[in-house]
Amino acid sequence: MLKVWGRKTSSNVQAVMWCIAELGLPCERVDIGHKYGGNDTAEFLAMNPNGTVPVIRDGEGEPLWETGAILRYLANRYADRTFWPADIAQRAAVDKWAEWAKINVAHSFTAPLFWRVVRTAEKDRDYPAIAAALSVLNSKLAIAEAQLNQHAYLAGNELTLADIQFGHLLFRYFDIELARTPFPAVEAYYQRLQLRPAFVEHVMVSYEDLRVT
């Protein structure tokens, strides 16, 4: 049985939980981090010296942290061959987009935009910095738009691990107060993801607990 440590308001926990649910795996999740604390105890730091969530353990296996590594572990161990191809070159083609989403889109969205808008009181918001960060994010979303104009999912016509790394960011992206540029293919993709019960349950989670007013 999989055990996941991490609050459901963490975007990285959301990616892991969405992946677990798409793979149909049973799991137990424990609320850790932010208002729950528990990530600075000796016991938790022995599992993850970074003190961050998510952390997972598969049965009696070694604790794993870093969302990208966790997702690849789950895919290697449990996924079917459309979600995570067996062929090394085809797998790398999916992984390329997963890594791209983590390094480019998540890093251009979470701290530069989500934190500046939701985790910063309105009176303290740095609107020029938000506008500059949005322009960086838009350059990444334009790349996703071109991909999604070619096929239904980020790395092809089926849901893959790349969609977990990219798609889990979109609920917050489309929900927060932001002067969004229209990206019709990304929007249509986000609508498609919302047809997936696992996405709705694990990604479309209120972030009001995180809001600073």
Ligand X SMILES: N[C@@H](CCC(=O)N[C@@H](CS)C(=O)NCC(=O)O)C(=O)O
Which residue(s) pair with 64 in the sheet?
56
| Residue 48 interacts with ligand X (CB under 6 A): yes or no | no
Looking at 33, 85, 156, 167, which residue binds ligand X (CB under 6 A)?
A: 33
Prior bond of 26 cis (ω within 30°): no
Stretch that binds ligand X, among 10-18, 153-161, 176-184, 187-195 (CB under 6 A): 10-18
Stretch that binds ligand X, among 5-13, 76-84, 145-153, 181-189 (CB under 6 A): 5-13
Looking at 19, 23, 29, 52, which residue binds ligand X (CB under 6 A)?
A: 52
| Residue 67 interacts with ligand X (CB under 6 A): yes or no | yes
Which residue(s) pair with 191 in the sheet?
none
Q: Which is nearer to ligand X, 33 or 156 (CB)?
A: 33
- CB neighbours (10 Å) of residue 136? 15
Q: Which is nearer to ligand X, 97 or 183 (CB)?
A: 97
Helix (H, G, I), strand (E, B) or coil at 156: strand
Please answer whether residues 68 and 98 qualify as being in contact, where contact means their C-beta atoms are separated by less than 8 angstroms: yes
Write down the residue that tokens 């290697």 correspond to: 76
Q: How far is the CB of 37 from ligand X (least distance, A)?
A: 7
Cα-Cα-Cα-Cα dihedral of 211, 126, 172, 75, to 10°?
-100
Counts of helices then strands in the chain (DSSP H, E): 11, 4
| Residue 57 interacts with ligand X (CB under 6 A): yes or no | no
Distance from the first to the final alpha carbon of the chain: 39
Please give the residues from 151 up to 180 whose contact with ligand X meets the rule CB under 6 A.
none
Residues touching ligand X, count (CB under 6 A): 10
Q: Which residue's Cβ has the minimum distance to ligand X? A: 33
| Residue 34 interacts with ligand X (CB under 6 A): yes or no | yes
Looking at 10, 147, 160, 165, which residue binds ligand X (CB under 6 A)?
A: 10
Q: Which is nearer to ligand X, 36 or 185 (CB)?
A: 36
Q: Which helix (H) or strand (E) element contains residue 71?
A: helix 67-78
Pairing of strands 2-5, 27-30: parallel
* Interacting residues toward ligand X by CB under 6 A: 10-12, 33-34, 39, 52-53, 66-67
